[in-house]
Amino acid sequence: MTEDTYAHIPVEKLDDNQARHELARLADEIAHHDALYHKTDRPEITDADYDQLRKRNEKIEARFPDLIRDDSPSKRVGAAPSEAFSKVIHAVPMLSLANAFDSGDIEDFMSRLRRFLMLDASDALVFTGEPKIDGLSASLRYEAGVLVQGATRGDGAVGEDITRNVHEIAAIPKKLKGDHIPEIVEIRGEIYMGKADFLALNDRQIKEGKPAFANPRNAAAGSVRQLDPSVTKARPLGFFAYGWGELSDRPFATQSEALAQFKAWGFAVCEHSETLPDPQAIMAHYGRLAALRADLDYDIDGVVYKVDRLDLQSRLGFISRSPRWAIAYKFPAEEAQTILLAVEWQVGRTGALTPVAKLQPVTVGGVMVRNASLHNSDEIQRLGLRIGDRVTIQRAGDVIPKVIAVIEGGPRDETQAIPIPTYCPICHAEARREGDDVVIRCTGGLTCPAQRVERLRHFVSRDAMDIEGLGKKQIKAFFDGGLIETPADIYTLETRNVTLKIEAMPGWGAQSAANLFAAIAARRTVVLDRFIYALGIHHVGQSTARLLARHWPDFGDLRSLFAGERAAAMEAL
């Protein structure tokens, strides 16, 4: 991704050149995180951190409107649909929602609506409040009351065709019930997985030697984005209806009437949806749902408030990527307090030493947490952390929890300082910072076993070569067993299996070994940018890999470039 040279500068202090660079960086970074969330269901950052990126982008665009880019995140919804599925053009775009993070944002939202509609304080403005289900958004098309198509949101204009899969979800009606059924009905809603079903599914995954899902949203999205519909059928999925797309006739005049009609047609509607007459009722409703959140059997990450009357919605209209008449009031990330027991330093593929907090187990949002991120040594010093401290941890989605504060007033004389490593904990090579880098790195390079394993993991990862069946556990076992040392060794596994006998190894069998060899064979050829990214070159992320592939589309040219750079470096020595 683009370097964050100006990310630390407040928006009000940016000059034109800095703002231009920041908008380019934010467009690149937000697109990267959109793709991870919408296409691979594997986000790297919390919702709160993502929202901060968008908020900074919006502030810069407001201050420098002449610099707004064609690829601005403010003009985009979601991410482009996956190439693995056929595409569906939405007759009515599936837009996103504006976000609110505190009561002040809600008050501003109300004021904007009243000004736009020219209402005074005595005029009624009724809202519906609906829990924001954390799942996969989907659009279901019915013709003559019969389900004929299912699609994901995609980029808002074009989604993925998941028709065969939604037909296998028992919670989705295949034929609408009751009266007042228009000839064409598109129902929008959220496909989700309940918390209890999620835990049971993960138990099965682990027993079968398969990777566990990080959270219910990822499990739901991964269950729907299957090329084999029988996998979807076997997963316990639910569906809540909350809106509509194309309608040949509309038999309701308010959002609350629409929800009642959806229920009459046979859809589940979230039971905690309410009609709210004023801002005080909205804040009370938000408070009730925030308190209830941990006890629900499905994940919610906020509450969506919509103007109830559809004629007022029509008057309010839309902005580029969201309706004016609705807002998502997000919940803060969930927090808990516990004891810091120890700090372990993990070695990444570029040698970065990352501190990981080992915690006294604590439940956060229904998940047992034992480890948390500390980012780097500067963060340890900033927080003033010591072993034995009572700390606050924060968890959001499937991103690793992080330590955010030390609880004041603890017995500091009983705690221990956290030693900052000067040697790699794995290969014992010197560990040091380079220049202004905040990261301490192992200098062992490829002589460090940990770096070699992490580079192999990166090489086969989903965004790189994407080799099915070679996860973290399998790579580590193959490396420790001497089966693979370099990426090239992966492609000779099948020919060497006459003596290796992978099918006889623990957790493997004849069929799983055959599946692995087929997966490796299928990824002998990939697009150039994936291969460049898979090499794990320091400072070469996905965006840089795409740029390199665009400028040097022939790999031979790129290899010559690298060879020339290496020769020049050797000559300089």
Least Cα distance to 147 among 185, 192, 99 occurs for 185
Burial of 411 (0-12, 13-18, 19+ CB in 10 A): exposed
Q: How far apart are CA 345 and CA 368, in angstroms?
A: 21
- What does the block give as tokens for 129? 């409040």
Catalytic-labelled residue, pool 59, 75, 87, 132: 132
User: Between the ranges 220-229, 362-371, 445-454, where is the mean pLDDT highest?
Assistant: 445-454
pLDDT of residue 569: 45
pLDDT of residue 79: 47
List pLDDT tens digits, range 180-202: 899 999 999 999 999 999 989 98
The answer to whether residue 66 scores a pLDDT higher than 70 is yes
pLDDT band at 226; cut points 50, 70, 90: confident
pLDDT of residue 424: 97
pLDDT of residue 408: 74
% of residues, the chain, pLDDT over 90: 54
Q: How far apart are CA 475 and CA 282, in angstroms?
A: 51
List pLDDT tens digits, range 538-564: 878 887 888 888 888 887 777 776 665
Return the CATH fold of 87-330.
Answer: D-amino Acid Aminotransferase; Chain A, domain 1 (3.30.470)
pLDDT of residue 472: 85
List pLDDT tens digits, range 145-172: 999 999 999 888 889 899 999 999 999 9
Burial of 453 (0-12, 13-18, 19+ CB in 10 A): buried
Conformational region of residue 428, where left means phi above 0, alpha means psi within -120 to 50, and beta covers everything else:
left
List pLDDT tens digits, range 36-49: 766 665 667 777 77
Give the 3-state secondary structure of residue 196: helix
Q: Where are the domains of the chain?
A: 11-75, 87-330, 334-442, 446-572
pLDDT of residue 255: 97
The answer to whether residue 21 scores a pLDDT higher than 90 is no
Kindly report whether the global pTM for this prediction surpasses the value 0.75. no
Q: How far apart are CA 52 and CA 445, in angstroms?
A: 35
pLDDT of residue 39: 61
**Rg (Cα) of the chain, in Å, rounded?**
26
Known binding positions for NAD(+): 47-51, 96-97, 130, 153, 190, 306, 330
List pLDDT tens digits, range 124-151: 999 999 999 999 999 999 999 999 999 9
Give the CATH number of domain 334-442; options: 3.30.1330.40, 3.55.40.20, 3.40.50.300, 2.40.50.140: 2.40.50.140
4-13, 358-367, 501-510, 518-527: the lowest-pLDDT one: 4-13
**Average model confidence (pLDDT) for the chain?**
87
42-56, 85-99, 237-251: the lowest-pLDDT one: 42-56
The answer to whether residue 459 scores a pLDDT higher than 70 is yes
Residue 437 CB contacts under 8 Å (≥ 6 apart), including other chains: none
pLDDT of residue 414: 67
% of residues, the chain, pLDDT over 70: 91
Known binding positions: 47-51, 96-97, 130, 153, 190, 306, 330, 424, 427, 448
When pLDDT is averaged across residues 18-26 and rounded to a whole number, the result is 86
pLDDT of residue 49: 78
Known binding positions for Zn(2+): 424, 427, 448
pLDDT of residue 570: 45
pLDDT of residue 413: 66
Q: What is the homologous superfamily of the domain 446-572 according to CATH?
A: 5' to 3' exonuclease, C-terminal subdomain (1.10.150.20)
With beta carbons less than 8 A apart as the criterion, state whether 438 and 409 touch: no
The answer to whether residue 301 scores a pLDDT higher than 60 is yes
Tell me how many helices (H) and strands (E) the chain has.
Answer: 19, 20
pLDDT of residue 566: 53
DSSP letter assigned to residue 502? G
The answer to whether residue 65 scores a pLDDT higher than 60 is yes
| The residue type at 415 | T
pLDDT of residue 77: 60
- Cα of first residue to Cα of last residue in the chain, in angstroms, is 30
89-103, 205-219, 242-256, 512-526: the lowest-pLDDT one: 205-219
CATH architecture of 11-75: Orthogonal Bundle (1.10)
CA angle 392, 398, 401 (to 5 degrees): 20
When pLDDT is averaged across residues 389-412 and rounded to a whole number, the result is 79
The answer to whether residue 572 scores a pLDDT higher than 50 is no
With beta carbons less than 8 A apart as the criterion, state whether 201 and 213 touch: yes
- What does the block give as tokens for 290? 């925030």
Is residue 501 annotated as part of the catalytic site, yes or no? no
